[in-house]
A and B are shown apart, each in its own frame.
Chain A
Amino acid sequence: MIVSTPLDPHETKTPLAHAGPSDETASRVRVTRETLLWLGIGAVAGLTRLWALGSAPLNDAEAALALQSLALAGHASPMATAFASTSPANPLFSATQAIWMSIFGATDATARWLSALAGVALCLLPALLRREIGPARGLAFGGLLALSPTLWFIARQSDGALLAWTLAFGMWCVWSTNARAEMGWLLAGLLLACGADAVTPALTVAAALAAGNAFSRLRINATGALIAAGACAIGATGFGLRLSGLGDMFNGYAMWFAELTGAPLPEPGAGLWILPALRGAAGFVLYEPLIWIGAITGGAVLVLRRSAQHGSSNAPRSRDARVLRGAMRGAMRGATPWPAWAGAGFGLWLLTQSRTADGLAPVVIGCAALATIAVERILTELADRRQWASIAAVAGISAIMLVYGFIGALFYAGQGAVTWLLTGLIALVMVGGIAIVAGMTLNTQSALAGVGIAAGICLLLYTLSAGVQLTQTRPDNPAEPYNVRATLPGVHDLRNALGDVSARASGEPLAISIELPESAPASLKWAVRDWQRATITSQPGAAETLLTPMGATIQTDYTYIGSEFRIASTASIRSAGCDDRSGQFNCYPLARWLILRNLDGSAIPTQTRWVLWLRQDVARRYSGR
């Protein structure tokens, strides 16, 4: 049985309904079902985030982090040694990753495990809020986070930012619910140990606490400060293994500020894409319609509910307007932590001109929380079993219309016809009509619930497909807004080729000597991390194998034979828009990009190619001659 729960943490909680079993029995039954559902959310989160983590090669940023962690772990390879003098921006993440890779080995998958586990934990944190927002909203919250393609994508990137966001969200959950303040201080200390990655989450949480007027409830005492300081010190130093991590933590703060103040101003006249962050924002709109539509709907539900509580149906028009304004203010006061999460997070993301998707985590969190209000409203309607049939009918028909519209868009977008726009419009009009008719014949709320369920299911399916596409089927597609610089499977091919050459030419897979220039991307350096005879040099030209960018000239006394590998791909999505150059309004590029994530024409992705050179004698040994 679904219990009526408070709309927001600041409202007086309504007592649990007592129809049916006794309180104790009911709570045991509720907990058991709820626990199973939470386990299910955990399973979904785990599956989406941990499955085939090593299928795509590490990109440059991930590789640089991983090599830095390898150096911290004392790995003796030349590639790791080259990163030994760099200062980790997130010492907690780097130290933990170093320990992790020391235990489980240095692979693409193990490099990403830490972020993935943090991502799973993030999805389960809403359980801490269940007493405040209710079990249903809590479950919905966790489910939305688990299915979010943005969080899904971020969790599968080796990056300390998600660890920081998880710690920040956990800290906020503990403090805003007044539960176990010591845990909150512990998490705060660990968050501080995240260095540069800690600043944006800390500022976002501060904004959320301020919006929710929770600062006054924080008990700042010596015990808390000591717990935080201890956790910070232990986290930053990697459990005391690397004292200089403390300095790296502070240096991370300085780096965040330096990037903020040193970020170049956008060039005038650059049009819509003046801010690099807008690419990511477009991605959020594309990948998270379930969440942002749900957030808008949830906000509307909240406002309407407040207005219903404050005013009467016979109130004159001017009084209606006043009531509505008052209701909106009231709604804002009640739910301000979540808009604060989204607003502060997005604002900081724009301010830092970030190009990575991890800055969108607070936006997802904030919007998902608001979306749970809509979910709860729908579930409330479903509580009345008399309406199930009509709701199901409306939902079924609406779902069919929406699926029709989506398939039509998919079909026609691929052909380039403008019809793809019409099919979507027709579908929406049809759904709207069904809602109106159902509203007249049934009741408005049931009709809206039916439409909402249909939309929700369709958006859910869309979200799932977007997430799978982004992370599994096409992780190397640079047309995906979050893939600013996609690393191609060619890196894995190159690594395998090197291993093969080494084994056949020298009898051992890691024995061959490799030279690569200082300008080699981190993803390549990571690829050759296991080779003890790999050297970074300003003048490659003497080793058994060389890696050079395509078109580079080498000064050498030897003869080399080369094979090309595609390493990375970048694409600008600026051209994915409508134009009327030919006299006709043509949205074909936009359609293809929106629906299929394809770019063509002048926006064909630029691929970075590197050449693996085999010295002639090595090539002979490799070929058996």
Chain B
Amino acid sequence: MLEILVWYVWLQAFSLGGWLIASRWLRGLPDRGYGASKALGLLLGGFAYWWIVTARLSANNTGAALMALAVLFGAGIALWQLDQRRATDASRARLVLWPARSSVIVTEALFAAGLFLWAAYRAYNPDILEAGGEKFMEIMMLNAILRSPAFPPNDAWLSGFSISYYYFGYVILAMLTRLSGLASTVAFNLGNATFFALTLAGAYSLGWNLANTQHSPLSTPKATVAGLLTALMLAVMGNMGGFMEAARCAGVTPDAFWTWLDVRQIAAQQVECNGLAPTRYYWWWDWSRVVHDYTPDGRDQEVITESPAFSFLLGDNHPHVMGLPFALVAIALALSLYHRPSLPPRFGSLAGLPPLALSAIVVGGLAFMNTWDFPVYGALAIGGLLLGRLLRRETLGPALLFSAAMLALGYGAYLPFYATFASQAAGIGINLFNGTRWPQFVLMFAPFLVIGLAFIALTTHRISRATQTPIVALLGRAAGLTLLALLGALAGVTVIGLISPQLREIFTQVMQEGGSVFGVTREIALQRLALRLSDPWVPLALLACAALCVALILTALSASPAASEGTTNTGRPDLFVLLLLLGGALLTAAVEFVFVRDMFGTRMNTVFKFYYQAWTVWAVAGGFALTSLFGARGMWPKLAGILSGLLIAGGLLYPLFTMQSRTDGFSRRPTLDGAAYLKTTRPDDAAAIAWLNTNVTGAPVIAEAPADRYAAYSYHGRISAFTGLPTLLGWGGHQHQWRGNYTEPARREPLIETLFNSTDARASRAVLDEFNVRYVIVGPPERNRYSAEGLAKFERLGQPVFQSGSTIIYQIAPGPTRTQP
């Protein structure tokens, strides 16, 4: 409990600093950015911490983290002072949070509840395991950053190299770990709770802000409901997997249904239930793979369809999870720019620098946090800005200039990251054979589909009346745009296919008489293409929705009255919501046609990231949209709202059942220490890890058994994961993903084999000297893999400095050509 309190205090310290800045920067929001201030404070603090260490203004220690906090407060106070001088009495009065007090109270309550309750949940399921997620890799990242004397931080799974991954989230986590003084394995779980709490608070704030604009028909209590619904749909609600499992346990679904549904791995599974709750091993994991693809020759092809609830329940601190609260800050920025952009009266004046710099740091930081988020939320921020200006009949020039400057500065602000980052992306691939089936799409997004479609219908009706445009005309415009979009998508796919020499080569080979590529002949390809064309409903529907959103926005713009530049709140949240719905539709439609080529070679990762983003933007839109349905006149919006409510309730079954499964019914003794299980299952390794963490300072190189030959998700690299000490090779498979090649791991594999297996002390010594190894770990993984004779030579090569059972740590004296670290 004390650990959570300490952690909470430091989070609130950053929140206060973030509030000093958000209140000036996000003044377009009714709550003046209060809900975004928590994540904003952490992002800005983390940015300062990262730069302080990168620029060698401090070693990587607690002082750097404190300095970052001081910089955050200094910047906030300076902004206040700057603003106070310019503010009139009236605007000073508006700075007060009193009108938004209900939002402030609920935000704080939600944040505290989210943090403490989720930490309690994590305490029943804290283990940082090597399989069933990426926790090993994540704790390695965190410990490597904590151990590194400077930035860029060491890659603990490839000694001598720096991390080649988007690690900003781990930097923020490391900053909090330093300040709190907690162990990294405890901070890991508290971090997960933090991101959950931040997501709740940020989502609530967005929903409340959308519902509480000047011209909104919703009253404050309904705005609170809108905010809570947004938070619920984004962070708590899962897909329909829980509902479907309950139906299966109730016996209301025949086997044929499941065969038809074709959700990967579920149809063939045994039904194991406890009442309505499923008890099948890892059943909840299966529902993160709702969409089922096939290779052209009919083999299974995995597609990841995680929801935020799944991510939090899993407990991984992966970039897409850590980036979620900060993506919400970017959406808050978009909404603020939409309502009341902080563009200077004359672009280029000093007064415009703070908002530009802050926008650049936030948007640019998304690339450092989770690169996939950058283009999407960056585009959303720019879209919000442009839409707002169009609505107020303002010139677009300054906005475009601002956007360009924001992107350029956002890139420049994170240059040291780009200098060491090697993306595995290798261009755009075209998705010819695997369209998403509509039942699977509905299972994934059911509540959002109902809410979104109903809201679009409601808004169509409203805009039609407000602009006196017949609904048929609106639909006609939408149809035209749909056709245009479809033709454009097909044209785009064709162009990509023609541009890529690789794709041209494949096409040529396949189309030849008797030709084939990876077993795919012309006949097979044509069959799959025909099958694809026979099920076009998902992309068609999505494009149609997107087109209708565009048509509605254009119609509303054409009829909106002129307003003086940059003064009033826009007061049209419905258009912003349409923008969000449009964004989600485009994201989910895009993966029907193209994907980002990576080492997986399929659309798996692209679907994963785009669906995640679509879930986010649709959830943000959903709270306001749902309350709008209930607030509208007539029966059918309310019916749609009730149906949505039922679907949301169905979606809530998933986290309910999953928590029971993950915690074995909350039967374990709670602890936040993610490495506590090692003391029971692998006590010798646990003792060795504790000894290294206590007695070894700096980042000397260690040698332990690797997960080589592209392997991953094994117990190898465990010492470096839990200590942050760099080893020769950790998980080779991940190195391949991160660096896009296997050159260095492949070079090291035989050397590591020699080091551990060879009885030639001189050869082993040469390996030790080449990599400047200071400690060699000999424990169960090493004994299982290497010969006893090979391991015995370390008695001569080094000095045993620690032993617990079968785990020995040998300290290696530096060779004649090496200096002491």
Answer yes or no: do A and B interact: yes
Kindly report which residue of chain A lies nearest to residue B68, judged by CB atoms: A250
Q: A82-B820, A535-B820 are in contact. Are A250 and B70 (CB under 8 A)?
A: yes
**A245 CB to nearest chain B CB (Å):** 8
Residue of B nearest to A246 (CB): B57
* Residues of chain B contacted by A252 (CB below 8 angstroms): 63
Residue of B nearest to A555 (CB): B799
* A535, closest chain B residue (CB): B820
With A247-B63, A250-B66 in contact, is A538–B181 under 8 Å at CB? no
Q: How far is the CB of B725 from chain A (nearest CB, A)?
A: 15
Given known contacts A250-B67, A251-B66, A539 and B813 CB-to-CB distance under 8 angstroms = yes
Q: Which of chain B's residues have a CB closer than 8 A to the CB of A82? A: 820
Checking B66, B811, B813, B820 against A253 with a beta-carbon cut-off of 8 angstroms, the contacting residue is: B66
Given A538-B813, A539-B799, are A243 and B64 neighbors across the interface (CB < 8 Å)?
no
Mask: chain B, 55-79; 1 = CB below 8 Å from A; 0 = not: 1111101111111001000000000
Task: Say yes or no: is B26 at the interface (Cβ < 8 Å to chain A).
Answer: no
In the assembly, what is the distance between CA of A538 and CA of B700, in Å? 15
Q: Is the CB of B813 within 8 A of A248?
A: no
Which residue from A78, A87, A253, A255 sits with its C-beta under 8 Å from B59?
A87
Residues on A with beta carbons closer than 8 Å to the beta carbon of B56: 243-244
Report the minimal beta-carbon distance from A192 to chain B, rounded to whole angstroms.
Answer: 10
Query: From residue A103, how far is it (CB to closest CB) to chain B in Å?
Result: 25
A332 at the interface (CB under 8 A from B): no
Q: Is the CB of B698 closer than 8 A to any CB of chain A? A: yes
Q: In the complex, which residues of chain B have a beta carbon less than 8 angstroms from the beta carbon of A538? A: 799, 801, 811, 813
In the assembled complex, B733 has its CB within 8 A of some CB on chain A: no
The answer to whether B813 and A254 have CB atoms under 8 Å apart is no
Of the candidates B55, B64, B811, which one forms a contact with A250 in the assembled complex, judged by CB atoms under 8 Å apart? Answer: B64
- What is the bound-complex CA distance between A248 and B64, given in angstroms? 8
Q: Are A85 and B149 in contact (CB under 8 A)?
A: yes
On whether A244 and B813 interact (CB within 8 A), knowing A85-B149, A250-B63, A250-B66, the answer reads no
User: Does B52 have its Cβ within 8 Å of any Cβ on chain A?
Assistant: yes
Type the 1/0 row for A207-223, where 1 means its CB is closer than 8 Å to any CB of B. 00000000000000010
Query: Is the CB of A270 closer than 8 A to any CB of chain B?
Result: no
Select the residue from B61, B65, B799 with max chain A CB neighbours within 10 A: B61
Query: Given A244-B56, A251-B66, is A87 in contact with B181 using a C-beta cutoff of 8 Å?
Result: no
**Chain B residues with CB under 8 A of A248:** 58-59, 63
CA distance A593 to B181 in the complex (A): 43
* A247 CB contact (under 8 Å) in B57, B697, B799: B57
The answer to whether B58 touches A246, judged by C-beta atoms less than 8 angstroms apart, is yes
Interface string of A424-464 (1 = CB under 8 A from B): 00000000000000000000000000000000000000000
Q: Is the CB of A253 within 8 A of B63?
A: yes
A114 at the interface (CB under 8 A from B): no
In the bound complex, how far is the Cα of B800 from the Cα of A538, in angstroms?
11
Q: Cβ of B811 and Cβ of A244 under 8 Å apart?
A: no
Q: Tell yes or no: A109 within 8 A of B by CB.
A: no
List chain B residues, Cβ under 8 A from A251. Answer: 58-59, 61-64, 66
Look across to chain A and name the residue whose beta carbon is closest to the beta carbon of B63: A251
**B67 touching A85, Cβ below 8 Å:** no
Residues of B contacting A222 in the complex (Cβ-Cβ under 8 angstroms):
81
Contact status A254-B820, CB under 8 Å: no
| Cβ contacts under 8 Å, B179 to chain A | 254
Chain B residue contacts of A258, Cβ below 8 A: 62, 181
Binary contact readout A81-94 vs B (1 if CB under 8 angstroms, 0 otherwise): 01001010000000
| A82 to B67 CA separation, bound complex (whole angstroms) | 26
Least CB distance, A241 to chain B, in whole angstroms: 12
> If A250-B64, A536-B820 touch, does A244 touch B698 (CB 8 Å cutoff)?
no
Complex contacts, A539 vs chain B, CB 8 Å: 799, 813
Within 8 A of A (CB), among B690-711: 697-698
Chain A 231-266 interface mask (CB, 8 Å, partner B; 1/0): 000000000000110111111111100100000000
Please tell me if A473 contacts chain B, counting CB pairs below 8 Å: no
Q: Which residues of chain A have C-beta atoms less than 8 A from B52's C-beta?
A: 246-247
Query: Which of B57, B62, B63, B181 has the most chain A CB atoms closer than 10 A to its own CB?
Result: B63
> Smallest distance from the beta carbon of A243 to chain B beta carbons, Å?
5
Judge whether A243 and B57 touch: CB under 8 Å.
yes
Q: Does A537 contact B (CB under 8 A)?
A: yes
Q: In the complex, how many angstroms separate the beta carbon of B199 from the nearest chain A beta carbon? A: 29
Chain A, interface SS category = helix
Measured as residues with beta carbon below 8 angstroms from the partner, the interface class of chain B is 20 to 34
Residues of A within 8 A of B62 (CB): 250-251, 254-255, 258
Chain A residues with CB below 8 A from B66, complex form: 250-251, 253-254
Residues of B close to A87: CB separation below 8 A: 59, 61, 63
Assuming A82-B820, A85-B149, A537-B813, is B698 touching A247 (CB within 8 A)? no
A516-548 residues with Cβ-Cβ distance < 8 A to B are 535-539
| Given A253-B66, A254-B66, A537-B813: A244 and B58 interface contact (C-beta under 8 Å) | yes
In the complex, what distance in Å separates the CA atom of A254 from the CA atom of B66? 8
Docked-complex contact A537 and B58, CB < 8 angstroms = no
Q: State the Cβ distance, B55 to closest chain A Cβ, in Å.
A: 7
> Restricting to A83-118, which residues have a CB under 8 Å from any CB of B?
85, 87
Q: How far is the CA of A537 from the CA of B57 in the complex (A)?
A: 31
User: What string of 1s and 0s marks CB contacts (under 8 Å) between B782-813 and chain A?
Assistant: 00000000000000000101000000000101
Contacts A250-B66, A251-B66, A538-B811: A244 and B820 contacting too (C-beta < 8 A)?
no
Q: Mark A182-213, 1 if CB is under 8 A from B, else 0.
A: 00000000000000000000000000000000
Smallest distance from the beta carbon of B584 to chain A beta carbons, Å?
43
Q: How many Å lie between the Cα of A249 and that of B63 in the bound state? A: 7
By a CB distance below 8 angstroms, the chain A residues around B63 are 87, 247-254
User: How many whole Å from A348's CB to the nearest CB in chain B?
Assistant: 20
A78 / chain B contacts, CB cutoff of 8 Å: 820
Shortest CB-to-CB span from A624 to chain B, Å, is 32
In the bound complex, what is the Cα–Cα distance between A539 and B810 (angstroms)?
13
User: Which chain B residues lie closer than 8 Å to A243 at the CB level?
Assistant: 55-57
Q: Which residues of A contact B698 (CB under 8 A)?
A: 85
Q: Determine the residue in chain B with the shortest Cβ distance to A261.
A: B181
List, in ascending order, chain A residues with CB within 8 A of B81's CB: 222
Could you tell me the distance between the alpha carbons of A222 and B698 in the complex, rounded to whole angstroms? 40
Nearest chain B residue, comparing its CB with the CB of A233:
B57
Partner pick for B61 among A247, A535, A536, A537, CB 8 A cutoff: A247
CB distance from A556 to the nearest CB of B (A): 13
Which partner residue on chain A sits nearest B49 by CB separation? Answer: A247
The residue among A244, A255, A535 with the most chain B CB atoms within 10 A of its own CB is: A244
**Cross-chain contact A244 with B799 (CB below 8 angstroms):** no
User: Which residues of chain A have C-beta atoms less than 8 A from B149's C-beta?
Assistant: 85
Q: In the complex the two chains form, is B811's CB within 8 Å of A247's CB?
A: no
Instruction: Kindly report which residue of chain A lies nearest to residue B820, judged by CB atoms.
Output: A536
What separation, in Å, do the CA atoms of A82 and B53 have in the docked complex?
21
Within B146-161, the residues touching A (CB, 8 Å) are 149
Q: Which of chain A's residues have a CB closer than 8 A to the CB of B58?
A: 244, 246-248, 250-251
Question: What 1/0 flags go to A584-597 for Cβ under 8 Å of B?
Answer: 00000000000000
Q: Write the nearest CB–CB distance from A342 to chain B, whole angstroms.
A: 30
Tell me, in angstroms, the Cα distance from A460 to B57 when the chains sit together.
Answer: 49
Among A249, A251, A258, the one with the most B-chain Cβ atoms within 10 Å of its Cβ is: A251
Closest A residue to B66 by CB, please name it.
Answer: A250
**B813 neighbours in A (Cβ, 8 Å):** 537-539
- A252 to B67 Cα, complex, angstroms: 11
Nearest-neighbor residue (CB-CB) of B812 within chain A: A538
Counting chain A CB atoms within 10 Å of each CB, the highest count among B53, B62, B697, B813 belongs to: B62
Contact with B along A275-315 (1 / 0, CB 8 A): 00000000000000000000000000000000000000000
Instruction: Say which residue of A85, A244, A253, A535 sits within 8 Å of B57 (CB atoms).
Output: A244
20 A-B pairs with CB atoms under 8 Å apart are: A78-B820, A85-B698, A243-B55, A243-B56, A244-B56, A244-B57, A244-B58, A244-B59, A246-B58, A246-B67, A247-B61, A248-B59, A250-B62, A250-B64, A250-B65, A250-B66, A254-B63, A258-B181, A536-B820, A538-B813
Q: Which 9 A-B pairs have the closest CB atoms?
A: A247-B58, A251-B63, A250-B63, A254-B62, A250-B66, A250-B67, A247-B63, A247-B64, A251-B61
